[in-house]
Structures are given as C-alpha cells and as structure tokens.
A and B are shown apart, each in its own frame.
Chain A
C-alpha cells in the first residue's frame, strides 16, 4: 500500500510482508491476497507463520520472480499486509470547489500506483434516490424532507464504504460530499473509529468568483441535474444551491480540529495547510495534491520512430532508427511546429532511439532514465519466436498475467509503474510536454491518464508513428490520436487464446505481429 518502490500494492502480491508474528485481528481487516486465486488466502493459518528456529527454504515464484519461504513443499502464505489500517478520505467544501475533481483524480492516481481506491459520491446516491432534480430548494436547510433524504444517502454511502474497505479489500475510500458541518464530520470520524479506518480530510476553500463560475460551467452544466436546463438558469440555480450551504459551513479550524489529519487547499493551490499527516499514504496524498494544477495544457505522448530492432521483430535493445523511423522523426518536427505549442518541454528516455527522434525536433530536451523501455532481462533483443523456443514457460506465464509478470533478471509492467511514478508527478507539475518514449512505458503513462486497470494496461494500443494528444477536460482527459503518415511495423502482440504452459508453439505464436 505504500506505493512507489514499496512492496505494499494492493493489486498484486509483490507486497510481501511476511508475518511470522501473530497478526492482530484489527490489522487483518482489509488484508487481501493479491492475485485472488487462492481461496484459502483469506484465512489465517497461524502454523505457517510460526517461527521454527531455523531459516525456511526459499523458492522463487515463477511469475514475479520473488523469493518466498517454503515449508513442507508448500509455499507459506504471503499476504499483502497493511500495517496501516484502511484510509477514508473525506472531502470538505462548498459546492463547485473542485471536490469531485480532486476525488476522481486522487482515486485514479492511487489506483495507478497500486493502492485499491474507490470514490463514493454522495451526490450520485442522491440522484439515484431522487430521480428528478427540481431546483435548489431541495438543498435549503429548512427543507426537512430534503434533509432526511440527504442524510439517508450519506448513510448508505458510508455503509458501502464499510463494505468496500472491510470486505472487498479496498485500501482507500474517497467520500465525496460537502461535509461542511462539524457535526457531519464528527459522525464520519466516529464511524471510521468504530471500523478501524484512518480519516484524512481534504478541504478546498476558494472565494474567487471567476474560478467558481468556471468550475460550474465546466462540470456542473453537464451534470444530470441540469440536463434539460438552459445554462443561465442552471448557473443561477447552482449559485442558490451554494448559498444553501454557506450559512452552516464550518471550515476546518486550526484550533478546534487540531487533532484531525487534514489538508486545506486554498484558492486552487495558492496555499496549503497541512495538519497531522499520520502515515505514508497520507504523506503521498499531500505530495500529490500539492503538485497537481488546473492550468489548461496538453500532454503529447509518442514512441520513438521505428527502430532497426523493431523491423526485425526483436524486443528491447538499444538500436538506432530505421530509415522510416527517421522519416517519422522529421514529420514529428513538422507536426510539433504546426501545433504551435507554448513553452513545450520535450522528454526522452536514455535510449538511442528516443534521443535520435528528439534530436530531429531541433529543440531542447531532457533525458530521463526512468523513461527507458521495460527491461526484458534475459529476453532482451530476442524475437517472440526465440522466447517461445528458449523460455516457453516464461512466455506462457507472461500471457497469463502480463501486468505482474517479471522477466527473468528484468522487469514487470508493475515495476515499470513504480519507476514511472516520479515522471507522472513531474508531468502533473508541468504544462505542455511531449514525451518520446517506448511501447510499454507509453502504455503505463496512458493508463494513468485514461484510468485503465492493470488488466487492460499491458494491452493498450500504442502504435509506432502515432502521437496521442491528451488534454484534461472536466473530470477526464480528451484523447486525440494522430497518425503521422509514415508506415511502420506493428509491434502490438494481442493476448493469445491459449495461455497455458502446455500450449503448442503455434498457439503461443498465434498473435505475433509480422516482421522480417
């Protein structure tokens, strides 16, 4: 759960906290076995954990190449252990202060770094409960019926939070609602205490009318509440809705809330007040929230031009561009010129093919080792046919779980995500950036921006000679794909139907793209 380089991810069982000591029952809440295909994993087998006075045998797990203790021919149970209890993140703030934006973005980030996170938007519960929204009157503090419904929605959202964190193995729940009164927040704190969750509040305070109006136009007018309204009417109603909360709003207070963990974001990131950061995940959340911004910009992702090894159908290596790859690099220059991008930064990996591509642009660029292609270890520079020939088991395992599979002496996609976390953090800080990278790297970056799951990630289509332009809009990201018209080989290998280790060579090579 601790994220980058830390072995605490939730969607894997890389996170090895091997427990020989007895586990406290409260801690075992929220544990889950990473790959989920071991039905006995949920149960504690204390005998497995007893220390027997001499070192246990180690066996390397074939998928992730992790050394694990071994006893009587069985692999001792390894489990993702949260030494920290699950965390409930609670947004605080008037409507149109970007709470949902922050919730969604944070959820996306945490899931990407491997912390199972889900957001619970109380507004969605209300819309579910009350199919038709009439007007702001619903939110008036003296609307008893309205209050009852809203309280009911908050309660059912909290029940779902409990289900998610205690039963479904979630690690972080984002409770997205206004939570503007201390009374409501205390209810949540009590709820969390009873269930053994930590609470972290994220308050967004903003008084700039322009920012608020912009936010309403950006996200609220598209909201189901105002589907059939004209924009002026909707804006007016929404402003009244905000008014309904203003009288009872009690911001988090330096003194009264001094024992509560929170971050207060003032004027969309001009200032932050951070109180009692309690653990690693809260510290990561604070760092992330302090690095994101909402200045409009675009991120351009592309791979290097076609390389000599691409043509031969060989993976990895550090070869130069093919003639067509060089053509692409020139087209890329024209394309970037045409886009007339303000203060564009260009990043490459430290591999020859991305640097050659960037050299053609005639602009400054920076090399990141973290952007290097996935390390295929012993399979570097091999064709898929050769991998199948020399390492058929490895090849099959990779097809079984491509995200977690680690090449012998190499990396997995999961490793890559951890390696790319600082890149994502810096991309969040920057404005217009062109990232010239590699297939696996681009898939990881794209998965972050498009909120793709670990299963989908390794199969995202990132063809050569194609630039993806990502522009943040409302809660998501608009993608434009631009093929620059220079032919290249296809390097995308689909998941074959047969992924068993006993499969035939033909089955294994069924989806290998054509090459020389």
Chain B
C-alpha cells in the first residue's frame, strides 16, 4: 500500500523532507501518501461505524466522542446524524406521532433522510479524504442494517456496528434530561411535556427493534424490502445476493453504559482501537484540571525547552495552586506531572501524592532546546519559517512535532478517560494537545491554543461537550505564547526560494 519501487538502482538515495524530517527516496515521489506515519496505516479501506439502539441510549454521545478521538489521533472522521437530516427536511417537530410505525408519510421522509446521509458518507470518503464515517441513527431494524451493509459492501467500505443497550429507566431519563431537552425538537416545550413525548417516541421504535444477532443479521432481511431500498440507493441486486453469503458482522454491544461489552469479529487495527476506546470511557461526572508548571527560570529568559527550576513567581504560583485545589474540595483528586523538574516542583507544593509520566514531558525541540526564538531565527532561519508554515506537523531537527506529541499523549488521554478527577500539571505544547482533544480543535488550531502560565483550566463534561472554566491565579508571569506571524505571500515566497537553493525540491510537494 505504501510504495513500490521502480528500479533497484535508485535505492539508497534518500532525502530528508524538511518539514517532517522523514527520509524518502529522492526520485519522483508523490508525498501525498503519508508513508512516514509513526503508526501503520490505520485502515486500508474506509470504515463506516453504524450506531444501533433505541433513542436516548447515548448513541449521539458515543458518536461525537468517538469522532473527536479519532480526529485527534489523526484519522479523519465525521458524524452523519440522520436526526439532523430529518430536522432539515421537516423544519418543525410536532410530536412523537411522526415516529409511529404506521405513519407512512413520515416513514418516507425518514427513509429519504437515511439515504441522503448515506450518499453524503460516500462523498465524504471519495471526495473529502474521509477515513471513518459515523452513521448516527437508531438503525434498529435488520432491514435498515442490511441496506447499510450492502451499501458499504458495494463500495468496498468496512462496517463496524456499535450497539448501545440499556434498560435502566433512570439512566434513560437522565439522558433525556441531559441532551434531549436542549434539542431543537423541544426548544419551546416544558420539561414534563417533552419527557412524556420523548418516552412515547422511544415506544414507537420498541416494537420493531431487533438487536444485532450475528446469524440473523447476516442472513436475512426480507428480500423484497431490500429490493425496494436497492432502487432508492442504486444498489445492484448482485451485491444483495452477495450479502446473503457475506462474512460475519463486526460489532460491539455496550450494555448498561459499559458494565458489559460483547465484541464480535474485530477485523483491523482501527476497529481494535475503537473497541479499546469505547471500553475505557465512562459517564461518571468529574472534572479534569489542566495547568502548566509555574513560571520557570528559562521562561523568564525567553528560552524554550530545557529542564530548569521554578522562578520565584513560579514558586508563588505553586503555593497559590495548592490553595486553589484545596478550595475546590475535589473528591479523590489524582495529580499527574511530567518527568521535568518544573512540573514536579509545582506538584511538590500541593502536599498530596502525585504521579510522574514521561509521556507528559514538553515537546522535544531537538537542536533548538534552550534557545530563544531570536537565536532560532538566527541559527535555523529555514527551520523557523517551516515551523510557522505548518506548526502541527513540523518536526524540530532531532526533536519532535506536535503530531509526534499527540501520539505520545494517546495513552495519557486513554487513562484520563478511565479516571475521574485529575489535575494534570504539564507544559505549553502538551497542554495544547490535551486541550485540543477535549475541545475538539483541529490540527491547525491546536498549536496556537492559548495556555498561559499561572492559569488553571477546569474541564467538565456536559451533554455532548465540555465546559471550560479558566482560573487565573493572580500571580504574574511572562507570556510564552507566540502567535503565528502574519507573513505576506511575497515574503513567504522569498523565504521559500531561499530555502530551495540550499536544499531540495521536495519541499514544494510537501507544502
């Protein structure tokens, strides 16, 4: 999949790409393919993740969360919420009657919405470089699942079902309160009315709901129904026959918000990662506190990286942090630091136990460690310019990129998902990566997120997102945030040309 070489004689002429610092063969290479990724190709064919379950079973929560995670680890992913299509099609929602199985008019609309969403999935894969699409709808009938399955099969997509099963009325009611009252469907309703309507809406699905069953889902859905759908979706009858002899389904069933899981036929790396992720997330209320170390000696000097101690103001911050944390009265708070002196000094002031993670160490600036930006500009002008062009993917010579950092932080995120209240005392670049995960920021915004010194961010999961509270602890500190310089196109080109004379033409392909 990655690359095939034309002739053996060209071998050994490798050039390092300036931005990513990856060795590539010199001749005629199309660098669009990311063969230098620090992980193997996630999936060779696109994957459709299909949600299954009654309303208010957390399908949208899982869809959004999983999408955020996959995008963060570098797998382009998008949610296709059929409810959204329905709200587009039918501007005003009256009541549950719309979802009654005998409402033919509504049935027609709902089917059309599902088809439209599927078509958009196909466009996302073929035109927009998507790798994973999360198809968020109830998909409670075998027919509907069979349609999706054959749609995917026809186009060579892999399908992975995620079914959420929950019969605890309290959890369901809580879910309705949390996310459904805020939904556009119930925007002007009073809560009791909305609750009642929604519960009736769930009942509309209950009669026809068939949980995934490996055997039965594989073999049948009435052929006639499929034929009908096949005309709408332009699926060939041939592929429908193919469906009848298809392989087992790949799926995970989540019971009672994660107390039990059934996992069937995990087929590839990405499915395995998805399963691991889904098995680690939980919905217990909690808060995550993110903070950088106190101001360090090197911060004061405007030097990046290094392993220096706290400045006097940094030490003051550490004491303030201690009172702040005491003031928050947090139950079972865990404190994590990096292996660097400045975070450990900060944690020491708290007087509580803490754990050191090497994975939380600041980005390794390689040859630029302990330099000021002025010195970098002076000694590594091209490097400095390259970094400004694509700060996320730029790798320091003998150091790391933000992208490398995200991979290094993945186990930290996984463990944060598992834990409850945690205070993470880390570093600017590290905090940006963590924050981007929680706030769903894209790669180009990530390296410019504002994470000032002496400011604690409190992240609390709410509904589908995360509430952020920022606490400045009132100890002054230097500013370490360097905005992306606004370079005019002309200057930019000049810099690039200068750059080319010295190195290689591969840069162009890259940028």
- Chain A residues with CB under 8 Å of B340's CB are 67
Q: A326-B12, A429-B272 are in contact. Are A280 and B4 (CB under 8 A)?
A: no
Check if B344 sits within 8 Å of A362, measured CB to CB.
Answer: no
Cα–Cα, bound, A245→B259 (Å): 30
Check if A290 sits within 8 Å of B351, measured CB to CB.
Answer: no
How near does chain A come to B249, taking the closest CB pair, in angstroms?
11
Cα–Cα, bound, A377→B183 (Å): 54
**Inter-chain CB contacts under 8 Å: number:** 176
How near does chain B come to A58, taking the closest CB pair, in angstroms?
6
Per-residue contact bits, chain A 29-68, to B (CB 8 Å; 1 contact, 0 not): 0000000000000000000000101111010100001110
Check if A58 sits within 8 Å of B341, measured CB to CB.
Answer: yes
- Chain A residues with CB under 8 Å of B349's CB are 54-55
Q: A290-B272, A362-B5, A422-B39 are in contact. Are A280 and B354 (CB under 8 A)?
A: no
Cα–Cα, bound, A275→B398 (Å): 44
Check if B345 sits within 8 Å of A359, measured CB to CB.
Answer: no
Per-residue contact bits, chain A 274-304, to B (CB 8 Å; 1 contact, 0 not): 1111001001001100110000000000000
CB-based nearest A residue for B404: A369
Check if A66 sits within 8 Å of B359, measured CB to CB.
Answer: no
Check if A360 sits within 8 Å of B11, measured CB to CB.
Answer: yes
Check if A291 sits within 8 Å of B14, measured CB to CB.
Answer: no
- Decide if A21 is an interface residue (CB 8 Å cutoff): yes
Q: A16-B356, A17-B355 are in contact. Are A2 and B36 (CB under 8 A)?
A: no
Check if A366 sits within 8 Å of B2, measured CB to CB.
Answer: yes
Secondary structure class of chain B's binding surface, majority of residues: mixed
- Chain B residues with CB under 8 Å of A65's CB are 339
Contact residue among A5, A69, A333, A364 (Cβ-Cβ distance under 8 Å from B411) = A5
Contact residue among A271, A277, A351 (Cβ-Cβ distance under 8 Å from B265) = A271
Check if A18 sits within 8 Å of B14, measured CB to CB.
Answer: no
Cα–Cα, bound, A275→B254 (Å): 10
- Decide if B234 is an interface residue (CB 8 Å cutoff): no
Per-residue contact bits, chain B 327-351, to A (CB 8 Å; 1 contact, 0 not): 0000000000001110011001101
With an 8 Å Cβ cutoff, the count of chain B residues facing the other chain is: 64
Check if A290 sits within 8 Å of B275, measured CB to CB.
Answer: yes
Cα–Cα, bound, A370→B411 (Å): 14
- Decide if B266 is an interface residue (CB 8 Å cutoff): yes
- Decide if B178 is an interface residue (CB 8 Å cutoff): no
Check if A4 sits within 8 Å of B276, measured CB to CB.
Answer: no
- Chain A residues with CB under 8 Å of B261's CB are 272-275
Contact residue among B14, B276, B345, B398 (Cβ-Cβ distance under 8 Å from A356) = B14
- Decide if B263 is an interface residue (CB 8 Å cutoff): yes
Check if A20 sits within 8 Å of B353, measured CB to CB.
Answer: yes
- Decide if A355 is an interface residue (CB 8 Å cutoff): yes
- Chain B residues with CB under 8 Å of A89's CB are none
Check if B358 sits within 8 Å of A7, measured CB to CB.
Answer: yes
- Decide if A394 is an interface residue (CB 8 Å cutoff): no
Check if A291 sits within 8 Å of B272, measured CB to CB.
Answer: yes
- Decide if B352 is an interface residue (CB 8 Å cutoff): yes
Q: A7-B355, A356-B12 are in contact. Are A286 and B279 (CB under 8 A)?
A: yes
Check if B341 sits within 8 Å of A21, measured CB to CB.
Answer: no
CB-based nearest A residue for B268: A429
Check if B260 sits within 8 Å of A58, measured CB to CB.
Answer: no
Check if A270 sits within 8 Å of B264, measured CB to CB.
Answer: yes
- Decide if A160 is an interface residue (CB 8 Å cutoff): no
Q: A66-B356, A67-B341, A274-B263 are in contact. Are A2 and B415 (CB under 8 A)?
A: yes
Q: What would 27 A/B residue contacts be, using CB atoms closer than 8 Å?
A: A5-B359, A6-B411, A16-B355, A55-B315, A58-B341, A67-B345, A271-B263, A272-B263, A272-B264, A274-B260, A274-B261, A275-B259, A286-B279, A287-B276, A290-B275, A329-B11, A356-B12, A356-B14, A360-B11, A362-B4, A366-B35, A366-B40, A366-B41, A367-B35, A368-B38, A369-B38, A429-B272
In the complex, the 3 A-B pairs of residues with the closest C-beta atoms, listed nearest first:
A51-B351, A369-B38, A5-B359
Interface contacts beyond A359-B14, A360-B12: sample of 20 additional A-B pairs, CB < 8 Å, sorted by A: A6-B355, A6-B411, A8-B355, A19-B353, A51-B351, A55-B315, A55-B349, A58-B345, A271-B262, A275-B260, A275-B261, A280-B415, A287-B276, A345-B40, A359-B25, A360-B11, A368-B38, A368-B39, A426-B39, A429-B272
